[in-house]
Chain A
Amino acid sequence: MKFLKAALCAAVFSVSAASLDVPAQADGHKVLDQVKFLIPGGAGGGWDGTARGTGEALTKSGLVSAASYENMSGGGGGKAIAHLIETKDQDTLMVNSTPIVIRSLQKVFPQSFRDLTPIAGTIGDFGAIVVGKNSPHATFGDLLAAYKADPKNVAIGGGSVAGGMDHLIASMVMKNAGANPTSVKYIPYDAGGKAMAGLLSGEIKALTTGFGEALELSRQGEVKILCVTSNERVAASKDTPTCAEAGSNGTYFVNWRGFFAAPGLPDDKKAKFVEALKEMYETSAWSTVRDRNGWVEIFNPDDKFMSFLENQEKEVAALMKELGFL
């Protein structure tokens, strides 16, 4: 995950310059006068890239006249959440992602997405279970059998801390396949790239990572993707089964990134934000930014976003409880 973050940095500063630009090709009509992006992390992170990239697309396409950016790091994102709740600024959009659900369950910060106004999930990536090219586990079934025989022999790595997203995905996949999720031998790395190096070095047997991050190495035959946590097979890799198909019933997990506004936002303002983001997908400015960063679109607005979050929270909470992280 972290590698994706780093790659997203690409867009970071790009856009501070772009915000000064006069909208060059206005291929959308103006929806909003201004958007103030609040970024809960420092310059150069994944959140930063998402906010600035989205801001670039919105202003360059003319959907929004002006965008500004404020970085506010601290407390795993908690500081920015508290700030948004306190100021209730109606022009502010805060960027966030799956960790807002996980961290509020872990009580890293006292608030949750319910204390904000969810606007939309905009981009995302599925999880994937990956093994090395010489792995004896050619299918998810093989890996599962080895895991069931002795979980201590199946070290599964990932690019987040124990109890973090990659760990949860691994446990969820095992649980839905009828195995004991608590015995996953999870090996944390501080970045997805390093976790991949760990897999190729042979110290771990399998890896949970973003589907997008594993795709190219799998095309080149260095790794094999055993399954992907989507509902349907992904177009980019038709031969890769979904985890549900591979025997992990009902497994669905998407690592999303999206935007939140201040609590108590009037409905018409909320509608404007949703409209601006929705129309953004049609613009050429957006496709430039999207392709530059390799983002996958998942538009998930308003009430749909809220129920998605509630669902994800319920699922993650149950899993974390079972794993003993709550």
Chain B
Amino acid sequence: MLDGILIGLGTALTPMNLIFVMIGCFVGTFIGMLPGLGPMSAIALMIPIAATLEPSAGIILMAAVYYGAIFGGSTSSILINAPGVASTVATSFDGFPMAKQGKAGKALAIAAYSSFSGGVIAAIFLLVAAPFLASVSLAFQSTDYFALMVLGLTAVAAFASKGDVLKALLMTVIGLMLSTVGTDQTQGVPRFTLGILDLTDGISFLLLVMATFALSEALIAILKPNDDAKRQQEKEASSQLGSMAVSKEEVKEMVPVIGRSSVLGFLIGVLPGAGATIASFLAYGTEQRMAGPKKGKLFGKGSVRGLSAPETANNAAATGSFVPLLTLGIPGSGTTAIMLGALIGYGIQPGPRLYIDQPEVFWSVIVSMWIGNIILLVLNLPLIPYIAKVLAIPSRFLLPFILFFSLIGVYFVSFNTFDIQLMVLFGAVALLLRFLDFPMAPMILGFILGGMMEENLRRALLINNDSWSFLWERPLTLSILVIAGLCLVVPMLSPLFAKMRKAKQSETPTGD
């Protein structure tokens, strides 16, 4: 293994390759910041350039762009509540509130540290366990994926606990319902399209998230102009905008979160049918539960843990998705599918024999992940104060920019004016709902997971001839479902237990 690492380092550490890493990180960060352009488009953009390079340099360039784009996506989630890709939605839950409190620099720094750690730790797992995990990635069948989506959905509890439970559940259901619009994946029949041609492909994630997060956020800011006192307060806060100082206390909080989320994220990423989005939600939900009632309440209000967990997990999962790609040649996500295309273009065929036939490729991929992550950290940390200053722009300039940015981002993906109309409609409805204190995050969660949950459930039913018995007959499925059940029930019961204990302890005559 050591030989391999040395081979990888030898190829990766030439001056030319280091320049490529830097260019890649910079370009990737910039592209990732634009809504609609995620890691997938960033890599696609790089392919023609990478194709002219020799394989290891090309792969290093793409890895750099990839990590850059992931980090860039977190930036727009944190600063303007505009997650351009699904895997950074959970980042905005605590990142944006933190930025709103004037701690944008800190939020970006935490995101950068977490992404870095997640990526680096996961690359170690990849190095050690890739061949072994290949078989794990194939152990999951549709029934297990269904159970996993159910588990992901329990993350809704994270939002329900901090406010109106009923409202959170209602929004989740709306999200699930919206995910059914479009052509039914199993039968090929259009559903709830109202005869509108443009709805046959369903509602795009980007459209929905831009409308309900970024667009409605900007509209609220316009409709609810700050009073003078608050403005004064914000002015004071903005002087610290660029500060990246993270206290010792916070580091202590982050370390175990990063450890757990890396493992969780990596394992979820290894599964070809799950990926970074599910990983980020699961990590967020897990940490919220593990934080205890006191710290858990801070989730959604700018919690360090709540920001660190999904950021670590989505990066770790992105790395994990290389396991099925490199060892089996199976792309689990759009991004890895493009990577596979690029590798094939070089005449490299990922598969069980890659490790043996072309070890230098295998190792240079892994080493380039490390280098990409390190350079990204080194390159971006000094930039963070400047990026954070975006929020210091007076709102009369910033808000129109956000509106423009989110609308154009959606349009540039589909080039369909109908999408813009639909987006404005969703934005208006979201605005209304937000004034009534309905949370938007559970809806997005329901929307993202709903489609995958339905698809896997129906596939499982088809395979099992419409029998539901797989839910309890397949041990893996059953275990995941039991965990999901516990996740829901335990938090509900724990106040009850606490009460009982309290009642027992005090045993005062006044007790009812």
User: Does residue B201 face the partner (Cβ distance < 8 Å to A)?
Assistant: yes
In-complex Cβ contact of A188 among B328, B414, B459 (8 A): B459
Is the pair A6, B48 in contact by a Cβ cutoff of 8 Å? Answer: no
User: Does residue A10 face the partner (Cβ distance < 8 Å to B)?
Assistant: yes
Is the pair B185, A294 in contact by a Cβ cutoff of 8 Å? Answer: no
Is the pair A6, B414 in contact by a Cβ cutoff of 8 Å? Answer: no
Shortest distance between the CB of A203 and any CB in chain B (Å): 4
Minimal Cβ-Cβ distance residue in B for A72: B415
Interface residues of B in 299-357 (CB under 8 A from A): 324, 328-332, 334, 337-338, 340-342, 344-345, 349, 351-353
Minimal Cβ-Cβ distance residue in A for B336: A193
Contact with B along A227-246 (1 / 0, CB 8 A): 00000000000000000000
Inter-chain contact total with CB atoms closer than 8 Å: 167
Stretch at the interface among B37-45, B97-105, B218-226, B482-490: B37-45
User: Does residue A299 face the partner (Cβ distance < 8 Å to B)?
Assistant: no
Is the pair B328, A222 in contact by a Cβ cutoff of 8 Å? Answer: yes
Is the pair B344, A75 in contact by a Cβ cutoff of 8 Å? Answer: no
Minimal Cβ-Cβ distance residue in B for A185: B462
User: Does residue B198 face the partner (Cβ distance < 8 Å to A)?
Assistant: yes
User: Does residue A178 face the partner (Cβ distance < 8 Å to B)?
Assistant: no
Shortest distance between the CB of A257 and any CB in chain B (Å): 16
A interface size (C-beta, 8 A): 61
User: Does residue A190 face the partner (Cβ distance < 8 Å to B)?
Assistant: yes
Is the pair A198, B197 in contact by a Cβ cutoff of 8 Å? Answer: no
Minimal Cβ-Cβ distance residue in A for B183: A161
A193 to B273, CA, bound (A): 9
User: Does residue B187 face the partner (Cβ distance < 8 Å to A)?
Assistant: yes
A3 to B415, CA, bound (A): 23
Minimal Cβ-Cβ distance residue in B for A152: B465
User: Does residue B272 face the partner (Cβ distance < 8 Å to A)?
Assistant: yes
Is the pair A292, B324 in contact by a Cβ cutoff of 8 Å? Answer: no
User: Does residue B51 face the partner (Cβ distance < 8 Å to A)?
Assistant: yes
Minimal Cβ-Cβ distance residue in A for B352: A220
In-complex Cβ contact of A161 among B138, B185, B272, B330 (8 A): B185
Q: Which residues of B sit under 8 angstroms from A190, Cβ to Cβ?
A: 185, 455
Is the pair A108, B272 in contact by a Cβ cutoff of 8 Å? Answer: no
In-complex Cβ contact of B187 among A43, A74, A109, A163 (8 A): A163
Contact with B along A1-24 (1 / 0, CB 8 A): 001001111111111011000000
User: Does residue B436 face the partner (Cβ distance < 8 Å to A)?
Assistant: no
Minimal Cβ-Cβ distance residue in A for B144: A201
Is the pair A44, B351 in contact by a Cβ cutoff of 8 Å? Answer: no
Shortest distance between the CB of A87 and any CB in chain B (Å): 15
Q: Which residues of B sit under 8 angstroms from A219, Cβ to Cβ?
A: 349
Is the pair A163, B139 in contact by a Cβ cutoff of 8 Å? Answer: no
User: Does residue A194 face the partner (Cβ distance < 8 Å to B)?
Assistant: yes
A44 to B183, CA, bound (A): 20
User: Does residue A155 face the partner (Cβ distance < 8 Å to B)?
Assistant: yes
Is the pair A194, B183 in contact by a Cβ cutoff of 8 Å? Answer: no
Minimal Cβ-Cβ distance residue in B for A197: B272
A17, A152, A193, A221 — most chain B CB neighbours (10 Å): A193
Interface residues of A in 208-227 (CB under 8 A from B): 216-217, 219-222
Interface residues of B in 140-163 (CB under 8 A from A): 140-142
Is the pair B416, A72 in contact by a Cβ cutoff of 8 Å? Answer: yes
Shortest distance between the CB of B191 and any CB in chain A (Å): 12
Shortest distance between the CB of A142 and any CB in chain B (Å): 20
Is the pair A197, B337 in contact by a Cβ cutoff of 8 Å? Answer: no
In-complex Cβ contact of B141 among A78, A109, A193, A198 (8 A): A198
Shortest distance between the CB of A219 and any CB in chain B (Å): 8
Shortest distance between the CB of A169 and any CB in chain B (Å): 15
Is the pair B44, A42 in contact by a Cβ cutoff of 8 Å? Answer: no
Shortest distance between the CB of B123 and any CB in chain A (Å): 22
Contact with A along B387-428 (1 / 0, CB 8 A): 000000000000000000000000011111010000000000
Is the pair B337, A7 in contact by a Cβ cutoff of 8 Å? Answer: yes
Interface residues of A in 147-198 (CB under 8 A from B): 152, 155, 161-164, 185, 187-191, 193-194, 196-198
Question: Taking A3-B331, A163-B187 as contacts, is the C-beta distance between A14 and B47 under 8 angstroms?
Answer: yes
Is the pair A294, B48 in contact by a Cβ cutoff of 8 Å? Answer: no
Minimal Cβ-Cβ distance residue in B for A155: B463
User: Does residue A317 face the partner (Cβ distance < 8 Å to B)?
Assistant: no
Shortest distance between the CB of B78 and any CB in chain A (Å): 25
Q: Which residues of A sit under 8 angstroms from B352, Cβ to Cβ?
A: 220-222
Q: Which residues of B sit under 8 angstroms from A198, Cβ to Cβ?
A: 141-142
Contact with A along B182-196 (1 / 0, CB 8 A): 011111100000000
A10, A78, A108, A219 — most chain B CB neighbours (10 Å): A10
In-complex Cβ contact of B197 among A13, A79, A197 (8 A): A79
User: Does residue B240 face the partner (Cβ distance < 8 Å to A)?
Assistant: no
User: Does residue A279 face the partner (Cβ distance < 8 Å to B)?
Assistant: no
Is the pair A73, B341 in contact by a Cβ cutoff of 8 Å? Answer: no
Q: Which residues of A sit under 8 angstroms from B184, Cβ to Cβ?
A: 161
Q: Which residues of A sit under 8 angstroms from B137, Cβ to Cβ?
A: 197
Is the pair A200, B413 in contact by a Cβ cutoff of 8 Å? Answer: no
Question: Taking A202-B141, A203-B142, A294-B344 as contacts, is the C-beta distance between A14 and B459 under 8 angstroms?
Answer: no
User: Does residue B200 face the partner (Cβ distance < 8 Å to A)?
Assistant: yes
Question: Taking A216-B329, A294-B344 as contacts, is the C-beta distance between A75 and B187 under 8 angstroms?
Answer: no
In-complex Cβ contact of A44 among B44, B201, B462 (8 A): B44
Shortest distance between the CB of A211 and any CB in chain B (Å): 15
Q: Which residues of B sit under 8 angstroms from A189, Cβ to Cβ?
A: 459
Q: Which residues of B sit under 8 angstroms from A78, Cβ to Cβ?
A: 197
A79 to B140, CA, bound (A): 39
A187 to B41, CA, bound (A): 30
User: Does residue A66 face the partner (Cβ distance < 8 Å to B)?
Assistant: no
Which residues of B pack against A, CB within 8 Å? 40-41, 44-45, 47-48, 51, 137-142, 183-188, 197-198, 200-201, 272-273, 324, 328-332, 334, 337-338, 340-342, 344-345, 349, 351-353, 412-416, 418, 455, 459, 462-463, 465
Q: Give 22 pairs: A residue, B residue, CB < 8 Å, sorted on A.
A: A9-B338, A11-B47, A11-B48, A12-B41, A13-B45, A14-B47, A42-B413, A43-B412, A44-B44, A73-B415, A75-B200, A79-B197, A152-B465, A161-B187, A163-B188, A191-B337, A194-B332, A196-B330, A197-B330, A203-B463, A216-B351, A292-B47
Beyond the given pairs A78-B197, A79-B416, 20 more chain A to chain B contacts, judged by CB atoms under 8 angstroms and listed by A's residue number, are A6-B338, A7-B337, A10-B44, A11-B48, A14-B44, A17-B48, A42-B414, A43-B412, A71-B414, A161-B186, A162-B187, A163-B187, A190-B455, A197-B138, A198-B141, A203-B142, A216-B329, A216-B344, A216-B351, A219-B349
Which residues of A pack against B, CB within 8 Å? 3, 6-15, 17-18, 42-44, 70-76, 78-79, 106, 108-109, 152, 155, 161-164, 185, 187-191, 193-194, 196-198, 200-204, 216-217, 219-222, 291-294, 325
* Nearest 9 interchain pairs by C-beta: A7-B341, A75-B197, A14-B48, A6-B337, A161-B188, A71-B415, A203-B141, A197-B272, A13-B45
